[in-house]
Amino acid sequence: MRILLVEDDPMIGEAVREGLRLEGYAVDWVRDGRAAESALATEAFAAVLLDLGLPKKDGMALLRSLRERKASVPVLVITARDTVADRVAGLDAGADDYLVKPFDLDELAARVRALVRRAAGRPEPLITRGAITINPATREVTVAGKPVPLSAREYALLMALAERPGIVLSRGQIENRIYGWGEEVGSNAVEVHVHNLRRKLGEDAIRTVRGVGYTLAPNTRA
């Protein structure tokens, strides 16, 4: 799952990026408002983490223009501005949630999970597809109740395929969702992850749709 991080403070940016990567997200980090705008114009993100005090274009202005053009991507504002008036202004401008610096990385990760869950129209915290159950809070995956340990990339791939029932993703779309910018992607990396996931979840867990891509097979049994 791809997250856009908009933060000009190098220490906070680095910490947030690493924290979210460990949670299995692909994180694209930009350091000013203009770079954020061009990233949002060209890529699809599961969520945006937005600092307000930014060079080139202020976070609040960015948020307003995003909502004016009806972009529905969930936005979590992360900022040092912590007056009630600032929080109200941020939420009124279209932010979905608000976190005041300094914040705890575990809390940030939990809020991102909640945002992504709400955006997907999933009030329940567990994702179930056939015999496969995913707990995004703990990143625990079970097949017919038995825990199956996955690598961070395998987990990210499974989450991408489980995002919506029946979704079919091409190799390019999968690469987009599980790798951030500048990350080295081997030419057969996706095939390797699919192969490993099938081995762990059951050979019929992921179906190849010829000429299109991959889909999670709904009636998976262990």
Question: If residue 26 lies in a helix (H) or strand (E), which one and from where to where?
Answer: strand 26-30
Single-letter code of the amino acid located at 153: R
The CB-nearest residue to Ca ion is 53
Query: Could you give the CA distance from residue 135 to residue 126 in angstroms, rounded to a whole number?
Result: 5
Whole-number minimum distance, CB 101 to Ca ion, in Å?
9
Handedness of CA 183, 115, 61, 38 (dihedral sign): positive
Which listed range, 49-57, 85-93, 163-171, 210-218, lies at the site for Ca ion (CB under 5 A)? 49-57
Q: Which is nearer to Ca ion, 50 or 127 (CB)?
A: 50
Residues in contact with Ca ion, counted by CB under 5 A, come to a total of 3
CA 94 to chain centre: 19
Token duo for residue 125: 């915290």
Q: Residue 80 Cβ, how far from Ca ion at the closest point, in Å?
A: 7
The distance of closest approach from Cβ of residue 51 to Ca ion in the complex, given in angstroms and rounded to an integer, is: 4
Q: What is the distance, to the nearest Å, from the Cα of residue 53 to the centroid of all Cα atoms in its chain?
A: 23
Name the minimum Å distance from CB 99 to Ca ion: 14
Four-point Cα dihedral 119, 123, 124, 129, nearest 10: -50
Taking alpha carbons only, the member of 151, 159, 165 closest to residue 113 is 159
Applying CB under 5 A, among 8, 58, 86, 140 the residue interacting with Ca ion is 8
Asked if 130 contacts 221 with a C-beta cutoff of 8 angstroms, the reply is yes
Q: Is 53 near Ca ion (CB under 5 A)?
A: yes
* Residue 144 DSSP one-character state: T
User: Across the strands, what pairs with 215?
Assistant: 168, 207
Q: Name the segment binding Ca ion (CB under 5 A); options: 46-54, 143-151, 156-164, 209-217.
A: 46-54
Stretch that binds Ca ion, among 43-51, 114-122, 184-192, 202-210 (CB under 5 A): 43-51
Does the protein bind Ca ion through residue 51 (CB under 5 A)? Answer: yes
x/- letters, 166..185, toward Ca ion (CB under 5 A): --------------------
For Ca ion, the closer of residues 82 and 203 by Cβ is 82
Least Å distance, CB 90 to Ca ion, is: 14
Nearer to Ca ion, 14 or 183 (CB): 14
| Residue closer to Ca ion (CB basis): 75 or 156 | 75
Residue 6's H or E segment, with its range, is strand 2-6
Residues that bind Ca ion (CB under 5 A): 8, 51, 53
